[in-house]
Amino acid sequence: MAPERTSGDLRTAGIGRGLPVPVYVDGKEVQAFEGETVLAVLWASGDHTLHTTARTREPRGFFCGIGVCFDCLVTIDGIVNLRACLEPVRVGMKIKRQQDPGYTHAR
């Protein structure tokens, strides 16, 4: 039987979670839970594009989930290119999906 999902959220229902942790994703308040990574929060939202690439603006999601592939880069509290899979959520954290800086770098 497929696991149940909470409404509007890809988290599996019926699993014990930590305390609620409010964070901001692209300016919108989102409820995360203590112990989750930023990647888990973004993935649970259903929008799997974490950033777009520098040259061709193609969407990228996560690949390895353990800090190796660098394909889950996001901006957190103004710092660019952080691996979402390695960052635990903190109260009030401001997470942004990145359009990678690249060859269209405008002056």
Partner 1 sequence: MRTADICIIGGGLLGTATAYYAAKAGLKVVLVEERELASGTSGVAFGGVSLAIYSYASARVPKTYVELSKASLSLYQRAQQEIGPPLDLDAPGSIDPFYNEEDSARGLERCRGLQACGVPCEFIDYKQIKEIEPAVAPIAINAIYCPVDAHVTPMGVVWAFAKAARQMGAEILTNIRATSLISRGQRVVGVATSAGEIFASNVVCASGSGVPALAAGVGIQVPLDLARGQMFVTERIPPLLRTYVHNIKQTPSGTIVFGTTREPGVKDTTVTSVEGTHKMLKWASELIPALANVKLLRSWAGLRLLPPDGYPIIGRPEGVDGLLLAVMHRGVTLAPAVGGILTDLITDGKTALDISPYRLERFASSAVGAEAQETFYGT
Asked whether the beta carbons of 71 and 81 are under 8 A apart, the reply is: no
**Cβ proximity to partner 1, 33 vs 54, nearer residue:** 54
**Cβ proximity to partner 1, 49 vs 81, nearer residue:** 81
Q: What minimum distance in Å lies between the beta carbon of 55 and partner 1? A: 9
Asked whether the beta carbons of 52 and 60 are under 8 A apart, the reply is: yes
- In the complex, the residues that contact partner 1 under the rule CB under 8 A are 54, 78-81, 100-103, 105-107
**Cβ proximity to partner 1, 7 vs 104, nearer residue:** 104
Asked whether the beta carbons of 58 and 46 are under 8 A apart, the reply is: no
